[in-house]
Chains A and B, each alone.
Chain A
């Protein structure tokens, strides 16, 4: 029998705010435990939550960017349960009335056809702290730095059919949320977290099979791998005539396997009810429309604009808009240096190669748009050759120095002085009579070798165009 795979994803995304959701503690990672804490996020007696305006704005933005319907009145509820990482014995979350619902996101399926993934809800909630096991094993340690960090939870309908679908959904979601300015979405750093629900059912069946919940995947690749692994496992169980147990499984990156984390999935009774300590959020239809109009330009629109406004090839536009950071970088460069195709070539070529090998993101790169603009201008002004420029870029990339300064300090200025070059050219002609002869016999390609020799003599600093001209003049037919 053949089976159909049904996958749904629950994604938690940390909102990019300065402070926590309900108190003024900083929302930023610090290695030292329990320093970003205060009486409110530690749940001290008598404290009350205070809602962060920016968090609401970002949640609204995320909902709109994911084509959700916006609740004109939403509020926070308490999800009641005990665990040491939640300080109040309840998590404040939007249970009954999420700010966004019934959204969608379009991905490409395994065959490259567009496919709409429905998004059930987008809601705001506070993050929990972190529980660490002490090295001695005699205690668990709680760090509340993360407790109260603002999150949106984005829940899909069970519309994904393959591990590839899941990975592409996450990639697309990340790009959208980054473009919307909602979150960094760095899965490795935990600002995007993903749980997956997966079940198999006989092809053609309408009812869902019993599902398992996968946790602890810390990259998009891991999501894909763990789903592949789980499909194999469930298929084997079903083929042997047994039933899949509904349980929570934990992905172990080292062994590339899942292990049982919690037995039978229980419908936990969280006794959710509205939290009177907070005020509901009310929006007018006009406010929603304003927010929609103010949505940052998304990747597709930006790519189209790049093609139209900057006359870039489709491929360039697609590459440059693959992350908001890259697209922003590109456009910043244009503010200083207006040759879009040239900038595009250098970003996609040399800069991307540097970023990849250094393993850093464009946002934290010290070779900024001003650096890029200055470098390209120096090439245009014949101050350096393209080859030298590559070296300069590498130096600037690691040191953060401005390209002009590197060129000056290292004496890399291009030699465009005719009299200085003539001496070297004479020398090269004298030392390479064969090539000269070949050229004169009509083998014009030989000039390339001679130019190369001059460049070698000048350690790449000679202006190649000028060298070519001078050589032709000297050895050419009279």
Chain B
């Protein structure tokens, strides 16, 4: 349990100065992935040939004197991102043979920075969920205990050392919850920091690209590579507001961390303990601490679900079995739509599409959809007021431990798992899930949230109290199964 991890930026430096090669590392990494994947079901596809090719390319570029910020860093990419020439299941059994004709902007940027894409990670039904339990390819298991779901397969990949960096999507909290369940760091950046182009988003408002890694610095390096205006995604225009000069080291004494310990849930006492322990660490690190109360938070999860479902019903309408995916045998047009869409969607995607259609219906549009958009504005305003009282806000990230495999909760209970994460999506704020301790030997994190564009501050503050992470037992001797 004491084995320490190498960080991605250290590794890139070693490769950059010739102490190591991307090729050697990739070969070792692939072996490790294949071993662990057999027991954890982390990947939908391991890109062995492509990874070796890219590693060779990186070594050549390094030899030619090029500087790559993420040279040779093994990368996992969630399977709702498109990578040119690689399969993209998008969380659908009907897409298992779909080869994307183009690459997502974020994937392009990471490969250009020297990352080696090891494989595509498993995901829930059409990316809908934060457990992997609804995946058409079976759940991904948690490296800390295979009785539990990973939450996010990419987080499991980082946690178990199958990769050092994971490109993930986060809509209502998948990345942040998964990072917590697997004991690593996961950043959902301010919407607009990372281009969404090429991410199959079920919600145009909320689906974002994010990064998981074993330490905040690695996320920082990746964010710098990924952040910037991309004319293919209008929201990235926000990056033009970023300061030209990078912020220097922070002075904890000038930073106030607001603390909110959540409200009435089963694990609230555990969360309260974690919050107070972590608050104490901040205090010891000379940060100012201030108690914050939130008014509207409780109702915002529902508002999030209304908007997310409404958008899902529309965003998933392109899956009609005509231009891509699988077409069911059909005698008429309606049958083609109905059967193709049935074989594309799992139960959850069906539910969200249908419920979303109901919510956008004539008589429900005003009391649900528009009302949710009004709540979004009210909550954004409340959070703006909160960030006048503090620079960052510390709050719980999970309500419960990772879901147990084979014991699927009712769907509304599953939505409730996003209690602390979805509201942050609704408000459009950056949030980092950071490891904070263990409960019943399982890792549990907390969330550090900031105002828009506070991503870099969040990462610096988190780095100020971060400790070296332990490695989960299954990953200590990964060769044992072979």
CB under 8 Å from chain A, chain B span 326-381: 333, 337, 357, 360-362, 365, 369
Decide if A271 is an interface residue (CB 8 Å cutoff). yes
* Given pairs A46-B198, A46-B199, 18 additional interface contacts (CB within 8 A): A39-B101, A44-B102, A45-B319, A46-B80, A46-B81, A46-B82, A46-B196, A47-B102, A48-B197, A80-B360, A89-B314, A89-B319, A271-B310, A271-B360, A275-B204, A276-B204, A276-B311, A279-B237
Q: Are A80 and B317 in contact (CB under 8 A)?
A: yes
Chain B residues near A271: list those with CB within 8 A: 310, 313-314, 357, 360-361, 365
Report the bound CA distance from A273 to B311 in whole Å: 9
Q: Are B204 and A277 in contact (CB under 8 A)?
A: yes
CB under 8 Å from chain A, chain B span 185-231: 196-201, 204-205, 231
Q: Are B318 and A89 in contact (CB under 8 A)?
A: yes
Residues of chain A touching chain B, judged by Cβ–Cβ distance below 8 Å, are: 39, 42-48, 50, 78, 80, 82, 84, 87-90, 140, 142, 144, 269, 271, 273, 275-279
- Min Cβ gap A133→B in Å is 12
- Min Cβ gap A440→B in Å is 88
- Min Cβ gap B126→A in Å is 10
Report the bound CA distance from A82 to B237 in whole Å: 32
Q: Which of A47, A48, A82 touches B317 (beta carbons < 8 Å)?
A: A82
- Min Cβ gap A37→B in Å is 9
Chain A residues near B5: list those with CB within 8 A: none
Report the bound CA distance from A144 to B322 in whole Å: 12
Chain B residues near A278: list those with CB within 8 A: 234
Report the bound CA distance from A429 to B317 in whole Å: 91
19 A-B residue pairs with Cβ-Cβ distance under 8 Å, sorted by A, are A39-B102, A43-B323, A45-B82, A45-B200, A46-B201, A48-B196, A50-B231, A80-B314, A80-B317, A82-B337, A87-B318, A87-B322, A88-B318, A271-B310, A271-B313, A271-B365, A276-B311, A278-B234, A279-B234
Instruction: Decide yes or no: A42 and B231 within 8 Å by CB, A276-B204, A276-B205 being known contacts.
Output: no
- Min Cβ gap A311→B in Å is 52
The winner among A44, A78, A90, A144 for most chain B CB atoms within 10 A is A44
Task: Specify the chain B residue showing the minimal Cβ separation from A279.
Answer: B234
Chain B residues near A82: list those with CB within 8 A: 317, 320, 337
Report the bound CA distance from A80 to B365 in whole Å: 14
A contacts with B: majority SS: loop
Q: Are A43 and B318 in contact (CB under 8 A)?
A: yes
Decide if B281 is an interface residue (CB 8 Å cutoff). no
Q: Which of B198, B317, B323 touches A90 (beta carbons < 8 Å)?
A: B317
Decide if B90 is an interface residue (CB 8 Å cutoff). yes
Chain B residues near A39: list those with CB within 8 A: 101-102
Q: Are A44 and B101 in contact (CB under 8 A)?
A: yes
The winner among B80, B198, B231, B233 for most chain A CB atoms within 10 A is B198
Q: Are B320 and A89 in contact (CB under 8 A)?
A: yes
Q: Which of B82, B100, B360 touches A273 (beta carbons < 8 Å)?
A: B360
Report the bound CA distance from A90 to B310 in whole Å: 13
Report the bound CA distance from A279 to B192 in whole Å: 12
Q: Which of A47, A78, A269 touches B197 (beta carbons < 8 Å)?
A: A47
Chain B residues near A84: list those with CB within 8 A: 320, 322, 333
Closest 4 CB pairs of A and B: A89-B317, A271-B360, A45-B200, A43-B318
Instruction: Decide yes or no: A50 and B198 within 8 Å by CB, A42-B323, A90-B317, A273-B360 being known contacts.
Output: no
- Min Cβ gap A439→B in Å is 84
Report the bound CA distance from A57 to B104 in whole Å: 30
Decide if B88 is an interface residue (CB 8 Å cutoff). yes
Instruction: Decide yes or no: A87 and B323 within 8 Å by CB, A46-B197, A48-B196, A279-B237 being known contacts.
Output: yes
- Min Cβ gap B204→A in Å is 4
Chain A residues near B314: list those with CB within 8 A: 78, 80, 89-90, 271, 273
Decide if B24 is an interface residue (CB 8 Å cutoff). no
Report the bound CA distance from A80 to B369 in whole Å: 15
Chain B residues near A142: list those with CB within 8 A: 322
- Min Cβ gap B177→A in Å is 23
Report the bound CA distance from A39 to B90 in whole Å: 16
Q: Are B320 and A46 in contact (CB under 8 A)?
A: no
Decide if B232 is an interface residue (CB 8 Å cutoff). yes
- Min Cβ gap B461→A in Å is 30
Report the bound CA distance from A42 to B205 in whole Å: 21
Q: Which of A46, A88, A275 touches B104 (beta carbons < 8 Å)?
A: A46
Report the bound CA distance from A44 to B360 in whole Å: 24
Report the bound CA distance from A89 to B344 in whole Å: 15
- Min Cβ gap B363→A in Å is 10
- Min Cβ gap B248→A in Å is 33
Chain B residues near A88: list those with CB within 8 A: 317-318
Report the bound CA distance from A87 to B318 in whole Å: 6
Task: Specify the chain B residue showing the minimal Cβ separation from A49.
Answer: B234
Report the bound CA distance from A213 to B365 in whole Å: 28
Report the bound CA distance from A277 to B201 in whole Å: 10
Q: Which of A140, A144, A273, A277 touches B234 (beta carbons < 8 Å)?
A: A277
Q: 1/0 contact trace for B52-87 toward A, CB 8 Å?
A: 000000000000000000000000000011100000
Chain B residues near A47: list those with CB within 8 A: 102, 197-198
Instruction: Decide yes or no: A48 and B233 within 8 Å by CB, A39-B101, A82-B337 being known contacts.
Output: yes
Q: 1/0 contact trace for B99-131 toward A, CB 8 Å?
A: 011101000000000000000000000000000
Chain A residues near B324: list those with CB within 8 A: 42, 44-45
Chain A residues near B233: list those with CB within 8 A: 48
Task: Specify the chain B residue showing the minimal Cβ separation from A272.
Answer: B360
Q: Are B323 and A273 in contact (CB under 8 A)?
A: no
- Min Cβ gap A178→B in Å is 32
Chain A residues near B319: list those with CB within 8 A: 45, 89
Task: Specify the chain A residue showing the minimal Cβ separation from B370.
Answer: A273
Chain A residues near B361: list those with CB within 8 A: 269, 271
Task: Specify the chain B residue showing the minimal Cβ separation from A43.
Answer: B318
Report the bound CA distance from A287 to B199 in whole Å: 36
Chain A residues near B204: list those with CB within 8 A: 275-277
Report the bound CA distance from A145 to B100 in whole Å: 21
Chain A residues near B310: list those with CB within 8 A: 271, 273
Report the bound CA distance from A42 to B320 in whole Å: 12
Q: 1/0 contact trace for B229-248 toward A, CB 8 Å?
A: 00111100100000000000
Task: Specify the chain A residue showing the minimal Cβ separation from B363.
Answer: A269
- Min Cβ gap A407→B in Å is 56
Report the bound CA distance from A279 to B229 in whole Å: 14
- Min Cβ gap A137→B in Å is 13
Chain B residues near A50: list those with CB within 8 A: 231-232
- Min Cβ gap A75→B in Å is 11
Report the bound CA distance from A45 to B91 in whole Å: 12
The winner among A45, A48, A88 for most chain B CB atoms within 10 A is A45
Chain B residues near A45: list those with CB within 8 A: 82, 88, 90, 100, 200, 318-319, 324
- Min Cβ gap B335→A in Å is 12
- Min Cβ gap A96→B in Å is 11
Q: Which of A269, A275, A277 touches B362 (beta carbons < 8 Å)?
A: A269
The winner among B237, B316, B320 for most chain A CB atoms within 10 A is B320
- Min Cβ gap B367→A in Å is 15
- Min Cβ gap A138→B in Å is 11
Chain B residues near A273: list those with CB within 8 A: 310, 314, 360, 369
Task: Specify the chain A residue showing the minimal Cβ separation from B317.
Answer: A89
- Min Cβ gap A180→B in Å is 28
- Min Cβ gap B393→A in Å is 25
The winner among B316, B322, B357 for most chain A CB atoms within 10 A is B322
The winner among B198, B314, B365 for most chain A CB atoms within 10 A is B314
Chain B residues near A48: list those with CB within 8 A: 196-197, 232-234
Report the bound CA distance from A42 to B101 in whole Å: 12
The winner among B102, B233, B310 for most chain A CB atoms within 10 A is B102
